[in-house]
Chains A and B, each alone.
Chain A
Amino acid sequence: MEGSPRRTALRRLRGDRGAIAGLALFAAIVVFVLAAPLWANHVADTGPNATHTTEKVEVDGEPREVVSVEGTPVGPLWLGAGGKFFLGADGRLGRDEMVRLMYGGRTSLFIALTASLIATLSALALALLAGYFRGWVDAVISFLLDVIWGFPVLLLGIALGTALAVGGLDLGPISISAGSVWIPTLIGGFVFASYIARPLRGEVLALREQEFVKAAVAAGASPWRVMLRELLPNLWPTAIVLFTVNVANMMLLEAGLSFLGAGVQAPDASWGTMIAGGFELIFSSPLLMILPSTLIFLTVLSLNLIGDGLGAALNPRSRATIEAHTGRFEPKREAA
């Protein structure tokens, strides 16, 4: 027999040009946002929230207003001012767009990755419980998942976001202040858990019927043992694919929420909030909306490429890939 399934998968992945391109692109974006302090301190000489409304910058020897009298921010200066306002200023407040993109990216990525992690882990737990115990446990969990799943994602996020925007969250042991980045993060984790849990539950149900699981149960293994030792290791491939695609979906959700005002709150910045700011100046300074949108696009594209590659590598004809991409899937026709 050839190598282990993992090795075959890695081999297939290495040969997948799209997936490699995706990884490279995503890595580039991560480097971009991690370099924020470096750029801010050594090149642009300013922070993401520092305003420069009334200042002037020296471009090729000539002084230029950062924000014109009419309120128009300066466009990309590239290296004309030594790297300051590389991509221009972001509006009437005259903040450095490049610096904000980098710092905003940190927020967006953090939220997307963390929320997806929360969603995936919760989903794994729910899927294992529902799939292993079946019966009424499954009935209750499935029902709740169906309910959450029925809520349009953005709207649920909006509902939670607006409700929590002013007063924050104070639920038992959990206490989060209103402006915290954790609010959109937890919202995202909650909203997407059901999208990941449903395909995982399906897999658990299928795995449960396999010989090695039945053998373990017959041998008297405790439920925890079966779930953690037998079922969970077989769920990783699907979970990873779902996680990857979910990060992409989460980025889009956060952008939408922040754009509308129900996500990241001022003074924090994310690509979503920057898009909102850019929208106000769409006709005079279109770049302000286009730049953060493009960065989101590139991030989502890279994640989709990776997700596609992972899905194909782990299981050439995987339904999970389709399910992952739609965020929903052809509902399994269960006999009545």
Chain B
Amino acid sequence: MGAFLLKRLGRMLGVLFVISVIVFFIFNVMPNEPAAQIAGKSATPELIAQVEETWGFDDPLPVQYLTVMELTFTGELISYTRQLDVDEEIWKGLPATLSLCAGAAVIWLFFAVLFGYLSAFRAGRPTDRVLMLVSLVSISLPIFLVSALALNYLSYKLELFPSSGYVGLTEDPLDWAYHLVLPWTTMAVLFIGLYARVLRANLLEVMDEDHVRTARAKGLGERQVRVRHVLRNALLPIVTLFGLDFAALIGGAAIITEYIFSLGGIGQLTANSVADLDLPPVMALSMLAAFFVVVFNALVDIAYTWLDPRIKLERSR
């Protein structure tokens, strides 16, 4: 087990390094005039010169890379366009983003398991067909459509929910949830269909396996067979999938959702920075999100070995 862990961590570090190189390349090497772009739209020649100095544009590439990495990781990145401290903004935005992602995840997992379970155990029958149609629609829905409809009808016309703003959990839990209901639902809708379909497929596969027959032969009740011997086994791949998706949320659906609902998290920070073509925050956030994905995946991978005994022992050999 120890050797496997080391190998996994080693690989992870390798990936993180290559990611940092790629991000560096995208923002500092690839553009036509990187210093000018980083300095921003309204940059004066003096500012551009200052950026060139700080970011080491006159140095050879490897040195430049190290300079930029140092800037990023010591929290010294500044947004020139908006005069902000990048890492401060990131810290400020984290609670909102995490609240959004975690809440949406809980909702979508709940419904996905419910739909997937019902579909699989009534496969071919009306319930299944309806749920699978709903799932298909769900995975095709662009977040724009859902949020447009939600904002307009539920928030504006019917005034059921607020249309924007984030309230901290510690300030007022009820208000916190109230402001997040629409964003949560908007994000959850996208993933429910996907997960329901995957779970359904897994369940159908597991249902045919020998150990399910044994469970019935032991005299277990049908519900017990389904939950302890079919569902439990079918959920395993979902864990990995979820690990991938959750981490990717931060760099994906969260950005657009936060922007549309003005939640002020790091997703909105990204969106605003893009709109202003403000590169330093985008660079920092790209790296942060990618790092998070890689680290989170590694953790999920390790956790998976604990969940599936077959893997655990395979790896310790």
Contact = CB atoms under 8 A, between A and B. Distances in A.
Interface of A: 143-144, 146-147, 150-156, 158-171, 248, 252, 255-256, 259-262, 275, 278-279, 282-283, 286, 289-290, 292-294, 296-297, 300-301, 304-305, 308, 322, 325-326, 328, 330-331, 333, 335-336
A160 B260 contact: no
Interface SS majority for chain A: helix
A178 B255 CA distance: 24
A336 B315 contact: yes
Q: Give the bracket for the number of chain B residues in contact with chain A.
A: 35 or more
B149 A165 contact: no
A328 B260 CA distance: 26
A100 to B, nearest CB: 16
Given A300-B140, A322-B197, A335 B314 contact: yes
A230 to B, nearest CB: 30
Contacts of A275: 144
B101 to A, nearest CB: 12
Interface stretch (B21-29, B83-91, B210-218): B21-29
Interface string B222-255: 0000000000000001001100100111111101
Contacts of B255: 154-155, 158, 256, 260
A160 B26 contact: yes
B270 interface: yes
B248 A147 contact: no
A271 to B, nearest CB: 9
Contact of A154 (B145, B194, B252, B277): B252
7 contacts: A155-B255, A167-B31, A255-B144, A294-B145, A296-B144, A330-B241, A333-B314
Contacts of B240: 330-331
A163 B27 contact: yes
Given A146-B15, A151-B293, A159 B283 contact: yes
Nearest to B243: A331
A138 B26 CA distance: 25
B140 A152 contact: no
Given A158-B270, A159-B23, A159-B27, A153 B248 contact: yes
Contact of A158 (B14, B274, B317): B274
B314 to A, nearest CB: 6
